[in-house]
Structure 1
Amino acid sequence: MKYVKNLVCINCGEKYEALPTQYLCPLCGEKGILDVEYDYEKIKRDWNKEILKSNKDFSIWRYTPLLPVESDTPKPLLRIGWTPLYTVKTLAKDLGIETLYIKDDGLNPTGSLKDRASAVAVVKAQEAGKKVVSCASTGNAASSLAGNIASMGNDMRAVIFVPERAPIGKVTQLLIFGAVVISVKSTYEETFYLSEEAIKKWGWYNRNAAINPYLVEGKKTSSIEFAEQLNWDMPDWLVYSVGDGCTIAGAWKGLYDLKQIGFIDKMPKLLGVQAQGCAPITQAFRSGNDLIVVPENTIADSIAVGKPRNYIKAIKAVKESKGDMINVSDDEILNMMKVLGKRVGIFGEPAGVAGLAGIKKAVELGIIKHYESIAAVITGNGLKDIKNAEKAVGRPLIVNPDFKELSELLESYDL
């Protein structure tokens, strides 16, 4: 890793060699989340916007100088990243703002932003000499891991632990990719602890994003892409839905990296959005107190994390950006699924659209001003959770094969 200096504990500041299996600071335990430190001066000497512009690899690997991987380690076959960015005038008007950009990360190979982290995990597992990679997940992290491993052939295996509430679409996707899937009859929290015991006992590579510091580095490529796709002219706000805190922490890390190497001048404010039924990070952010574990009571399964492990990084990122956090109800999420589909043509899963629902609320509360520019990420594809999509839009019209009946049925529709 040409440009990586070391790992540093965000709690005590202790530094460690950047080994692929160095997950946490041993002095601080669960609070000892590590951060990857880069030699920005060396990066600036070797890499610039012109070099990047000439790179025809439109995937996350175009940003290899800012990623903690060896250049010669085999990469997953799937093309991850460089998802489309849209300027959306219709929805911006609906939300009461002038400028809205939407990045659809549901178009990543396995249907979510988490492909970015899993691709890095697969690379680091190889560098660690591991043949089995494991994690606990409500679905997206797991399917992204399984898909990326499948793309490597039969050299590696994925062992996935999911809570029993995981949507069947995501579980089926795991099985299609050939993963060993263990459905745990309990909460995500209990599922996580079981995976942790198994990983320790059998020596598997740990893909749990809040434990493994390298996975945040993969997630940060979403904000780096935002910057490049906007020609380095950053918006006023960058919006993400928040579960364990890794994604929004990664977004801030990507922006920080770009600022250090002189690619951007302006740092946007971050808006972190949690589901009202599972919002421990928002509560800690607003109270200034330690995190309190809460029940996982929301349809947005991908952000339903009652005990997030990366909340310190997430809160730090939002505060440093001079941003804010907000909660949205399940009804607001379901409504935004419908609005986004009807007005923009993007099908996002509940957790994927929570950020957009948060924009609407933040504008109403005066947190976001109508004249400010906002960029948001749809973090997951709606096809992963058809059950909740049906709650949002209902069922189709049903008719017998009779034209008269059809005509009568359609009389009330403005077609």
Structure 2
Amino acid sequence: MDIFEFIRSWNLDKNPTTPRTFKKREVDLLLEDIEALYTSPAEPKIGSLNPGIRDGLDLFSSQPQRRLDSLSVPILLSKRVWLPDPVFSAIAPSAASVWEKMPDSGSTYFTNAPVIHTGWKHVAQIPASQRKDALRTIFSVAIPRLLKLEQLVQCGAIGFYSWERLVEDDLPKFQETAMTLKESGLVDKVGTAYPQHDYSLGTRLSGIRITIQDDHPVTGAKAGTPLWISEKMPILVYGLLNALTSDRLASRFEPSLPGDRIVYDFVRSNGKSYTDKPSQDNFLQLPALDAAVWEDVVAIRKDSELLDRFREMLAELSIAESSLAAEAIRGGLKDLAKELNADKALLKRTGSSTLNFLLAILGGTLVGGYTGNLASGALTTAMSAGIPYLKDLAVTAFGGQARETKLRYEVVTRILHRF
């Protein structure tokens, strides 16, 4: 049974925005059914994309920072977009035990003292007398959006997974690994490369803007000067979570916040960091795929032969046998981008404007996050396929499911104008 079968077995698709009230006995049975989901690991997909746990869950929150149609470009340029299941995450008992260890839940599992946390609560943390109402609220927000994505799930463009199931066995190893990363002399550089609001503080807590309110005569700092949270453990834990899930799903990582990308790179490279600027050779110009109306996305996904070839070639980058082969594939993608810009059928749906698509492959360095300016200085990360994670973490660079599927390169993509 998948999430959509679960929805229909409980008739939650009948009135998705105003679900019925459940009886106490029904609540117990419903929790049993949801707990039975995702017991088998998600099958990795080469050429897939993972926007990150927080970005994925945010799409189904009551006050999302991004709309579902923000997935248009990833859906059209990736074999599959992986999203964490918001219903399982919010109500499955096993998900609660993982959430209660996260820094943004208020837990001290990874820290010696409480850190900034969200007020979000899992159903298991809500008094029994209030759970029926909590379930209705969760379903009324998440299910209409899930149903909107069902066609894309059916054609393989979107896949749902439980991030809790993927990471729960590795959390004890995260403690020592995160502490070692925290002690690195580079962690402060990585954690302050962007303003604080460009770093997620957990799976359910986005960045927070912090500045000096008034001029500080002692230090000379002016009002509005950016400040950063001194405790870097939350961003390190979140980086580890994204590294683990991306690895298990054999996907590339494309978050909305540049700080999340740079922390991910820092984690994946065993705490290494370098400064660099992106080469103009790393940019492709593509039709503005995000200008297509949402109703056209499924049709474009199914009908565009050129985009299908683009997805195939992008996936081939991850399994290229050598850097020479990878460069040849990247050259082919540049030629294909020119064909896409001349495709009249596609341009009819997207308009004449274009977008800048960052495409980087591992060639000694891995391109990190970028701000809105194409030429902005950014931290990049040195990385090689033979370097294991710190403290023998079970997930190694290109290890786990990724190694089984013979991934050799980590492909970095980014729609730059989203910043």
TM over 0.5: no
TM-score normalized by the length of structure 2:
0.29
Q: Which is richer in helix?
A: 2
